Amino acid sequence: MELWRWLTAALLLLLLLVQLSRTARFYTKIGLYCVLCLSFSAVASIVCLLRHGGRTVDNMSIISWFVRSFKYVYGLHFEVRGQQKLEMDGPCVIISNHQSILDMMGLMEILPERCVQIAKRELLFTGPVGLIMYLGGVYFINRQRAKTAMTLMADLGELMVKDNVPIIPVVYSSFSSFYNVKTKLFTSGTIKVEVLDAVPTSGLTNADITKLVDTCYQTMRNTFLQISKTPQQNSANEEPAVLPAQ
């Protein structure tokens, strides 16, 4: 009986802090996000194993469904433009700007079927999250072993040149109006998602890679500034993440 009183008092105190403190609300929502990731990953892993029996990119449709449900918990709305540009018959490479732990929700909003993702190897050891990523066919790069990472990226580059794989940039507007770690802001909000025109790689060689990267970066940066309500200097924190889609 005494234990229940302590638990009730602790819960009431937490609710009071959440109402009064912006910092408490921020960390409560972050904690809830982590709990959702872990619990949904565990459930999704069971569904994937029952549905497909093991590791396959076909599991990404199941994972995507689970992750997309997060937005309802946090009151987030995605406005997607140009999604039809991702409907291609052949393979392509999708690159997107990286901002925070919320990127995963935005990514799943536009992810095509049978899209193979690349992630850092450390995520493989995050319990249920690592398991569901493995079951979804994610390729893990060991960033401590540059040779392994470079080999995978070289294979991707060879595929681009050999099969004329286009690059499709995807840009998410700034989260800063509703999510900011420094000011401990985490509220509901709208994220604009712009799928840009495909960048062809036909006829390119290794000598053209630097120019290709710069072209993609500048195009994405300009789009980011156009669709975001953030000062230009904030865009310096954006960095592309590569996701090969097949």
pLDDT, tens only, 56-72:
989 999 999 999 999 99
Query: Across the chain, what does the average pLDDT equal?
Result: 81
Q: Which of 92-96, 133-137, 152-156 has the highest mean pLDDT?
A: 133-137
**pLDDT higher than 50, residue 113:** yes
Average pLDDT estimate for 11-19: 62
Average pLDDT estimate for 152-165: 62
Three-state SS letters, the chain: CHHHHHHHHHHHHHHHHHHHCHHHHHHHHHHHHHHHHHHHHHHHHHHHHHHHCCCCHHHHHHHHHHHHCHHHHHCEEEEEECHHHHCCCCCEEEEEEECCCCHHHHHHHHCCCCECCEEEHHHHHCCHHHHHHHHCCCEEECCCCHHHHHHHHHHHHHHHHHCCCCEEEEEECCCCCCEECCCCEECCEEEEEEECCCECCCCCCHHHHHHHHHHHHHHHHHHHHHHCCCCHHHHHHCEEEEEEEC
pTM (whole model) above 0.85: no
Average pLDDT estimate for 144-165: 61
Q: What is the pLDDT at residue 12?
A: 62
Average pLDDT estimate for 11-18: 61
